[in-house]
């Protein structure tokens, strides 16, 4: 199938593009490169359309030129703290720009859409593992922006028969096992790459935000899912929609939680190096625990994570950083 991958030069998008090619699909990347990397598209040898979703004419032209069967949408601002201080930026980019894309798709007759949503739509968890029936009460504008798009998708399905799969990610981590592509954000805020940058001397140390959470060691617990396992879920979503599947929202996580302290200890084990760690106050908008109950995607897609333990995930991230950790 022809697949337009919006944000395909970014972290999760590029790994999905690589897997799409391996599975015999024909991906085309649309990316404004504000956070994505042209070099990632070059390494993957995939066509790149440089465009912003705010440019409706260019988006329409891209759809007309490539005539995709399905669109995957990864492009979004995703810094929780920044979303609190700059909500306008998040609502405009994550919501308004997505509307532009959906309208262009509808005009072009493209009726299959796979959306990168987030566990941040749930807000503070009311139970140890979050399933899709958990109340959605976001606690930051980033989470609200993704929640709003989910509501829009429901309405576009009812009104225009545009079928969608929205995957609510937990914490994406790791990189390609061969180190060809990996995680390269500017600024970098994710725990594993920040720690590895510290080990490589690219930053002075690492700060752990909050040690007084109601968790066994006082630090936040998250569900770390390997980026290739996320990519595989997107490809299985294509199969699902292609066989007449109804629109659906699905969690995508391993079901296992690891604390910040556990992650740092694993990084030290994998790299054989000690981290310089300082401790700071909690960050606004950080729930104590976010762990997926992902039974639904397992049952519906037959999906299951290949990376079920933290250490192999960290090993693939280190492979990328040993090669420089940047494009």
**Tally of CA atoms within 13 A in the half-sphere of 275 that contains its CB:** 27
Residue 304's region, left for phi above 0, alpha for psi from -120 to 50, else beta, is beta
Instruction: Round to whole Å and give the CA distance between 103 and 59.
Output: 10
- Helix pair 11-22, 227-242: axis angle to 10 deg: 60
Q: How many CB atoms lie within 10 A of CB 34?
A: 12
Catalytic site residue from 11, 91, 122, 142: 142
User: What distance, in Å, lies between the first and last C-alpha atoms of the chain?
Assistant: 28
CB contact burial 113-142 (16+ within 10 A = b; e otherwise): bbbbbbbbbbbebeeebbebebebebbbbb
Judge whether 279 counts as a catalytic residue.
Answer: no
- Phi and psi torsions of 48, nearest 5°: -120, 120
> DSSP of 24-41, one letter per residue?
T-EEEEEE--SSS-HHHH
Closest CA to 149 of 110, 121, 122: 121
Instruction: Round to whole Å and give the CA distance between 145 and 122.
Output: 12
> Mind telling me the catalytic residues?
142
């Amino acid at each position: 199938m022809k697949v337009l991958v919006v944000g395909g030069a970014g972290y999760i998008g590029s790994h999905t593009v690589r897997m799409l090619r391996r599975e015999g699909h024909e991906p085309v990347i649309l990316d404004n490169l504000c956070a994505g990397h042209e070099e990632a598209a070059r390494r993957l040898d995939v066509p790149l359309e440089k465009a912003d979703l705010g440019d409706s004419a260019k988006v329409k032209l891209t759809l007309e030129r490539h005539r995709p069967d399905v669109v995957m949408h990864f492009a979004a601002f995703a810094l929780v703290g920044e979303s609190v201080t700059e909500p306008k930026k998040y609502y405009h980019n994550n919501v308004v720009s997505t509307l532009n894309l959906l309208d262009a798709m509808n005009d072009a007759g493209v009726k299959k859409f796979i959306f990168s949503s987030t566990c941040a739509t749930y807000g503070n968890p009311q139970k140890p593992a979050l399933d899709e029936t958990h109340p959605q009460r976001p606690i930051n504008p980033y989470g609200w922006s993704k929640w709003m798009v989910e509501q829009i998708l429901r309405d576009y399905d009812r009104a225009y028969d545009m079928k969608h799969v929205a995957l609510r990610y937990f914490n994406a981590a790791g990189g390609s096992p061969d180190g060809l592509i990996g995680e390269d954000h500017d600024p970098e805020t994710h725990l594993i790459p920040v720690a590895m940058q510290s080990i490589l001397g690219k930053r002075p140390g690492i700060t752990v935000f909050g040690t007084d959470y109601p968790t066994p060691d006082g630090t936040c617990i998250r569900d770390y899912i390997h980026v290739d396992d996320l990519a595989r879920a997107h490809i299985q979503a294509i199969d699902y929609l292609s066989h007449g599947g109804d629109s659906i929202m699905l969690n995508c996580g391993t079901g296992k939680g690891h604390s910040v302290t556990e992650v740092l200890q694993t990084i030290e084990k994998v790299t054989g190096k000690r981290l310089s760690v300082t401790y700071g106050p909690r960050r606004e908008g950080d729930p104590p625990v976010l762990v997926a109950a992902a039974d639904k995607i397992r049952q519906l897609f037959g999906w299951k994570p290949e990376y079920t333990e933290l250490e192999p995930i960290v090993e693939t991230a280190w492979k990328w950083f040993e090669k420089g950790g940047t494009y």
